[in-house]
C-alpha cells in the first residue's frame, strides 16, 4: 500500500478477520443487512474467477460499525 493512503476512519484500520467478528444488525421488513466480511469475500471470489488476485487490502468501519470502507490492491 502507498504511504499516502486514502483510508480514513475514526476506528482505524481493521483486518478481514476483524470484519468477520463484527455483529450484523437484524433484518427488518424493508432492509436486510449484509455482513461486511461477506461483501469482501464475494468481491475476492468474483475477482478470483477472473484470475485477478488481491495483493493487499485495507478496511475500516464507522464508529457504529454500520459502514465499511475498503481498498483492494489488485495484481497487474
pLDDT tens-digit profile of 33-54? 999 999 999 999 999 999 999 9
Pairwise CA distance, residues 55 & 74, whole Å: 6
Q: Is the pLDDT of residue 9 over 60?
A: no
**Half-sphere CA count of 56, side-chain side, radius 13 A:** 6
Query: In the chain, what percentage of residues exceed pLDDT 70?
Result: 86
Sole residue written with cell 449484509: 34
Pairwise CA distance, residues 10 & 43, whole Å: 24
pLDDT at 74: 97
Amino acid at each position: 500500500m502507498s504511504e499516502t493512503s486514502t483510508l480514513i476512519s475514526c476506528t482505524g484500520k481493521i483486518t478481514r478477520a476483524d470484519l468477520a467478528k463484527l455483529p450484523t444488525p437484524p433484518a427488518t421488513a424493508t432492509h436486510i443487512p449484509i455482513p461486511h466480511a461477506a461483501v469482501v469475500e464475494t468481491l475476492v471470489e468474483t475477482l478470483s474467477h477472473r484470475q485477478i488476485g488481491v495483493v493487499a487490502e485495507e478496511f475500516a468501519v464507522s464508529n457504529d460499525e454500520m459502514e465499511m470502507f475498503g481498498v483492494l490492491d489488485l495484481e497487474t
